[in-house]
Amino acid sequence: MNRLLVCLSCLLALLTGPAWSRDAPQLQLPRVTLTAGMHLIQAQVAATPEQRSIGLMFREDMPAGEGMLFVFEQPAGQCFWMKNTLLPLTAAFVADDGTIVNLVDMKPQSLDSHCSARPVRYVLEMHQGWFAKRGIQAGSRLSGSPFDGRK
């Protein structure tokens, strides 16, 4: 009887787990260390369509030096909005070589669209003002494994 209850509990967890994880913050994504000049960034990597569609939605907090790097298969015009995103963020649209193409501040829980100024493969979201406080602007360069060897 106990074994049956354990099996049923496991089955229930498997069936309900994915629905919960779709609405909960993505906390188990791969991570990469990036640098912006002398500043370190610990970024979670959202590389699949599902990971990118969830992004930082529903998160109530994020450590100061952390962010999320969205990785797309090829450079394209990328547009982001903040539906269900609770934190004010700045998006850096980043070229293959790590050069920041443009930066945009984004208001929480908004459907306003914020787009790259030209086709990019990467978008790095950080707390709003993180880049400005460090003097990082369009034309600045990020370093790290995603940008190694890309021209």
Residue 99 to residue 137: CA distance in whole angstroms: 10
What is the extent of the structural domain holding 61? 25-147
Residue 56 to residue 61: CA distance in whole angstroms: 10
Number of domains in the chain: 1
Local structure of 61: helix, strand or coil: coil
Find the CATH number of the domain harbouring 83.
Answer: 2.60.120.1140
Q: Say if 6 falls within a structural domain.
A: no
Residue 83 to residue 57: CA distance in whole angstroms: 7
Residue 25 pLDDT: 57
Q: Say if 9 falls within a structural domain.
A: no
Say what the pTM is: 0.82
The one-digit pLDDT tens for each residue of the chain (151 residues) are 444 333 333 433 333 333 333 444 566 899 999 999 999 999 999 999 999 999 999 999 999 999 999 999 999 999 999 999 999 999 999 999 999 999 999 999 999 999 999 999 999 999 999 999 999 999 999 999 999 875 4
Residue 132 pLDDT: 97
